[in-house]
Structure 1
């Protein structure tokens, strides 16, 4: 039951985060961000938000810095939109799965050429 609720909260947070990041966060360091996944612990106390950023390494680092600075604002916006007793603490991390998938695709393409 707790896992099901955590998954529902994670999906709702993912939906709301997309809106918050595109419309509310005005930090110029935050570039083009896509929320790829949200994982919420079973007790709904912590949430890990996986993001992908369009751009080079500097833009990725600047975006992560901007998001970590806006963490309190983002958390309060989520609290207003989702009815929970306590809004989860949030942490942002890069989604390495996209880079990993691209690397595998490049390797397979090179093997097919040979």
Structure 2
């Protein structure tokens, strides 16, 4: 079995993901904030920037409102997660909507639709 090495940046990213999910759920003042899911965090090697990937499982019309909410709250969120992580400099947060979940759901739906189609007979006359 291969021994996978995790860098400190990976561990910091995982901690930021856990802490940020908890702060968003508990402290953001929006009725739909509990529907925000942090899917991944990428931290630069010098810890100056963190790209936060998120999804929103609520109404699609609220997606822009949630993006604006996260943009306005990023200073507050950064301050809150800095309490749990001991770094010389807390990374600046950059939020990016993660389309991979929607892409996967659409792909699964298309596969289901393709499987539901009647099969054409092959050369032997069998379906």
Cα distance, 1:37 vs structure 2: 0.7
Q: Which has the higher helix share?
A: 1
Q: Which runs of 5+ in 2 are unaligned?
A: 1-5, 118-127
Pairing partner for 2:86 from 83, 87, 90: 83
Cα distance, 1:18 vs structure 2: 1.2
Q: Which runs of 5+ in 1 are unaligned?
A: none
Report what 2:21 is aligned to: 18
Pairing partner for 1:103 from 96, 103, 106: 106
**How many residues were matched structurally?**
112
Q: Where in structure 2 are the equivalents of 1:1-114 lying within 5 Å? A: 4-28=7-31, 30=33, 32-114=35-117
Q: Extract structure 1 runs of 4+ deviating beyond 2 A.
A: 27-31
- Deviations, residues 17-63 of structure 1 (Å, cap 9, x unaligned): 11100112224574621111111111111101111112223211111
Considering Cα pairs closer than 8 Å and 6+ residues apart, tell me whether 1 or 2 has the greater RCO. Answer: 1
| TM-score, normalised by the number of residues in structure 2 | 0.82
Report the RMSD for the aligned CA atoms in angstroms: 1.5
For the residues of structure 2 that align with 1:53 and 1:25, how far apart are their CA atoms? Answer: 14
| TM-score, normalised by the number of residues in structure 1 | 0.91
The answer to whether the 8 Å contact 1:29/1:62 transfers is: no
